[in-house]
Amino acid sequence: MSDLKQELKEKIITQLNLEDIAIDEIADNDSLFGDGLGLDSIDALELIVMLDKDYGIKLTDPKEGKKIFESIEVMANYIAQHRTK
Amino acid sequence: MEKVYINSIGSISAQKTFDNNDFLEEITTYEDNIIPVIEPNYKDFIPPAAARRMAKGIKMGVVASKIALEEANLTDIDAIITGTGMGCVRDSEKFVTAILDNNEQFLTPTSFIQSTHNTVAGQIALGIGCKGYNFTYVHSSVSFESALIDALMQLELKEAENILVGGVDESGEHTNAIHKLIQHIKPEKINSNELLNSKTAGAVFGEGANFFVLSNKKQDSSYAQVLGVKTFNTLAISDLLANLEAYLKENNLSATDIDVLISGNNGDIDYDNYYTELTNGPFKNTQQVVYKHLSGEFNTASAFGFWLGAKILKTQQIPSAVAINTIKTKGFEIVLLYNQYRGKNHSFTLLRRC
């Protein structure tokens, strides 16, 4: 699980161009949106595509995304349970 | 009709031009066939959260426009008009590559959103909260001049008071590879000091963003008056001089009235003969200036020539790096710019000291 969390942090920094943020600056329970990392709706779309492309998880309900992308911890748990690749 | 002035400038180029207090005092020489811009520290101008999705062309355009607005002492503007040949070509390449690599699946929004040609003008407007006229011209190597014509008409007819006009193009890896393949880029790397004497075909490609606040109100910061611009999509070399003479006549001028000729030579042996029609013809005894050995060739490189003309008229100096003769060293009143790319999309631009 810790490998997956590390992988997710790396992917988020690279794919969302968070060039000023280092991996160790993102805590597992930090909020990804709002006051935490400050991601926005375009980032949410990027994360939905990433789940589909890299882990074979298709999100059909946008409300589901809001919960899944709460933090790295929540995201990693969801991916571990639902991944198809 | 109102007179139109260049009230401020902002330039990001392959030379250190983002500081308006400098005028090509320190020249960077390249030994290549593609040259990049010297970038300012973008973080000094754009908040990191806003910059993280911006492609290089957007950052260059936003910073060049901020420099120009600051020098004009403006925080808002009536209109934003840009010219670009290729737009945000890096994100276009990224998006198309993703389509091909992923079999049209998994397409992410950011590169698509940023890949449109009018993204730069849009991002500038968003940054300063400008809800005015926002237009982008995509007309190959007369893109900047097309933007300029639009601004001139609005200012001459008093439809606006201050307009931000700019030309911006970024270098894209895949696009450059194609231009190398068809030999529009020189196959050999060449020293920029030797470029304009090259005996080979093709150009050295570059990139850049050059922005200007044009206004019908002259102020202390003003650089020059813009007398006019004329473009031709096609123009045979045999018709060049007659058309230029007619254009000068429209402005009550003749070749002998021109103090400085700024030519867009790019060292392409197949097409630089257009320029020699002028430099060996009616402007043989005129002060001549060149610039593409410093900026590289790109669709809006002529905006760098426009920047150069404005600086020459304001400072009344011609840096040695751009002078190809020393016929006239002071008293510059009228500057003529001539540009074309591969024998197409010609432009004449006239500037006057103010």
Return the CATH number at A56: 1.10.1200.10
Give the separation between CA B8 and CA B260, rounded to whole angstroms.
21
Contacting residues of A for B109, CB less than 8 Å apart: 42, 45-46
3 state DSSP class of B88:
coil
Listed residue (B271, B339, B269) closest to B309, CA to CA: B339
User: What's B40's DSSP letter?
Assistant: -
B106·A53 Cβ contact <8 A: yes
- Best residue of A42, A51, A59, A85 to probe chain B, by most B CBs closer than 10 Å: A42
Contact B108 A15 (CB under 8 A): yes
**Residues of B with Cβ-Cβ distance to A42 under 8 angstroms:** 53, 109-110, 113
Q: How far apart are CA B166 and CA B161, in angstroms?
A: 16
Model confidence at A66, pLDDT cuts 50, 70, 90, reads confident
Res. A61 pLDDT band, cuts 50 70 90: confident
- pTM for the full predicted model: 0.94
Mutating which of A33, A46, A49, A58 best tests the B interface, going by the most B Cβ atoms within 10 A? A49
The residue length of chain A stands at 85
**Hey, how many other C-beta atoms are within 10 angstroms of the C-beta on A79?**
20
Cα separation, A15 vs B179, whole angstroms: 29
Q: What is the distance between the alpha carbons of residues B90 and B270, in angstroms, rounded to a whole number? A: 29
Contacts of B104 in chain A (CB under 8 A): none
Q: What ipTM does this complex have?
A: 0.79
Alpha helix positions (H), A1-85: 2-15, 41-55, 62-68, 72-82
Task: Name the residue among B48, B102, B108 with its Cβ closest to that of A20.
Answer: B48
Burial class (CB in 10 A: 0-12, 13-18, 19+), B117: buried
Task: Name the residue type at position B176.
Answer: N
Cα–Cα distance between B203 and B190 in angstroms, integer? 10
∠ CA A20-A22-A28, rounded to 5°: 125
Give the number of domains in chain A: 1
Do B110 and A46 count as a contact with CB atoms less than 8 A apart? yes
Give the C-alpha distances (Å, rounded to integers) separating B296 from B142, B193, B202, B271.
16, 12, 12, 15
pLDDT digits (tens, 9 = 90+) for B8-18: 999 999 999 99
DSSP B156-195: HTTS-SEEEEEEEE---HHHHHHHHHTTSB-SS-EETTTG
Q: Which ranges of B265-329 does DSSP label H, i.e. alpha helix?
A: 273-279, 292-295, 302-315
Domains along chain B with CATH numbers: 4-215 (3.40.47.10), 225-353 (3.40.47.10)
Cα–Cα distance between A70 and A34 in angstroms, integer?
Answer: 10
For B48, phi then psi, to 5°, come to -55, -40
Residue B136, pLDDT score: 98
Asked if residue B216 lies in contact with residue B155, where contact means CB atoms within 8 angstroms, the answer is yes
Indicate the DSSP class of residue B284: T
What is the rounded distance in angstroms from the CA atom of residue B203 to the CA atom of residue B182? 12
- Evaluate if residue A63 carries a pLDDT over 80: no
Q: How close A46 gets to chain B, by Cα (Å)?
A: 6
Comparing alpha-carbon positions, the chain A residue that sits nearest to B105 is A53
A 26-85: CB under 8 A from B: 38, 42, 45-46, 49, 52-53
Q: In three state form, how does the secondary structure of B219-234 look?
A: CCCCCEEEEEEEEEEE
Instruction: Point out which residues pair with B185 in neighbouring strands.
Output: B203
* Sign of the alpha-carbon dihedral angle for B298, B299, B300, B304: positive
- Count CB atoms within 10 A of the CB of residue B225: 17
Segments forming the whole domain that contains residue A68: 2-82
Q: Which of B54, B102, B110 to mutate to test the interface with A (most CBs of A within 10 A)?
A: B110
pLDDT at B226: 98
Give the rounded percent of residues in chain B with a pLDDT score beyond 90: 93
Task: Please name the amino acid found at residue A70.
Answer: E
Averaged pLDDT, groups of 10, chain B, 354 residues long:
97 98 97 98 90 93 98 97 96 93 87 91 96 98 98 98 98 97 97 96 98 97 98 97 98 97 98 98 97 98 98 97 92 98 98 98
Name which of B144, B150, B346, B143 is nearest B244 in CA terms: B346
Q: Are B219 and B314 in contact (CB under 8 A)?
A: no
Distance to chain A for B97, nearest Cα, Å: 15
Question: For residue range B243-253, what is the model confidence (pLDDT) as tens digits?
Answer: 999 999 999 99
